[in-house]
Structure formats: C-alpha cells, structure tokens
Amino acid sequence: MEKIQIFDYRRNQTISVEKIGKTKAEWKKLLTPKQYEVTTEKGTEQPFTCTFDEIKEPGVFSCVRCGTDLFANSVKFHSGTGWPSYYEPVSPLNIREEIDNSFGMRRTEVLCARCDAHLGHVSMTDLHQRTSAIASTRRRLNLPKNRRMNMSKEEVATLAGGCFWCLEAITKK
C-alpha cells in the first residue's frame, strides 16, 4: 500500500500513513447516505443545514471517511453562504486539489489527500481563498458599498457558484 505524509494537528507533527483506497460499494457500507453522497458522489447539501457552521469552540474538523485532520476552527470564517468556509487547511499535505470542469465551468475541487473524499470547491472573493469542508463554496455578488445599480442603463452582474440551483432564487430577485 502507498504511504503518504500528512500533518497530525493534535500531535503537531507530520506522520506517515497508508493511502486509503476503497471502492464506492465499500464506502457506501461505511457511511451514512448523506456522507456517501457528498464525499463519494460529490454531492452538495442544502445551505444552512450543516451544524459545523455553528461550532465556535477551538478544535479541528477531520475527514468523515478517514479521520485525517483538515481544517482548524480558528481559520473558519463567516462567508454568508450557508456552508462552513475556511481560508486554509491545517496543512497542504492533508488536502489535494484537482481541476473540475463539470457544469460548464472551471473550478478547483478540494479532496482529502489520504482517502480522496470530496470536500468542496475553492472560490476567490475579496482576495481570500475559501474552502468548504462539506460542500461547494459560493462566490457572492460583490459590489462596492458606494455603488448603486443604475437602472437607466444596462449593467452587467456576474454570478458564479458551484451549484446553479442555489443561485436561481438569487438571480430571480
């Protein structure tokens, strides 16, 4: 079995572990249906349904599939998206990134380095890299506070998001 280096947050040291490779059927037996859908089938849970966003105490969020430490609560920030958002992992060793061209857009998918669990996507807003541990992060329409939409002439607003069905209601408004 292949060995990789990951950072153990609790021990504050890099350790050598075996890379975990399981079939979808094996993961399905080990996980709840929702955990399987998000981490294995790259699904997205509804916004504002994840209790991780409410946790304020110090700690670390670990991969539900393999226990690898992923994000410290100290680097979580309120993005307003309804999903937990973090500006950096506990270590670059613990995650890996892949280009994702699904849904007609180019995004960066974030995965657990040890078991390849889908963790979310990276977006850029206000020059901060946002990573969601559970589902895709979203880019907000970001106009300066002093700028008002001039309805007498045509203006363009660009909306981008990991899941179009979540942006549909915003677009209609």
Q: For the chain, give every domain's residue range.
A: 3-172
- pTM of the entire predicted model: 0.69
Contact 1, 17 (CB under 8 A): no
Contact 130, 122 (CB under 8 A): yes
Please report, rounded to a whole number, the percentage of residues in the chain having pLDDT higher than 70.
Answer: 69
Among candidate residues 51, 45, 95, the one with its CA nearest the CA of residue 69? 95
Among candidate residues 55, 73, 64, 172, the one with its CA nearest the CA of residue 112? 64
DSSP 141: P
Q: Which two tokens stand for residue 138?
A: 């979203």
Q: Please give the Cα distance from 104 to 91 (Å, whole number).
A: 30
Secondary-structure class of domain 3-172 per CATH: mainly beta
Convert the pLDDT of each residue in 114-166 to its tens digit. 999 998 887 543 223 343 333 332 222 333 333 334 444 555 555 555 554 45
Convert the pLDDT of each residue in 101-111 to its tens digit. 887 877 788 99
Specify the long-range contacts of residues 73-76, CB closer than 8 Å, at least 24 apart: none
Among candidate residues 110, 11, 15, the one with its CA nearest the CA of residue 63? 110
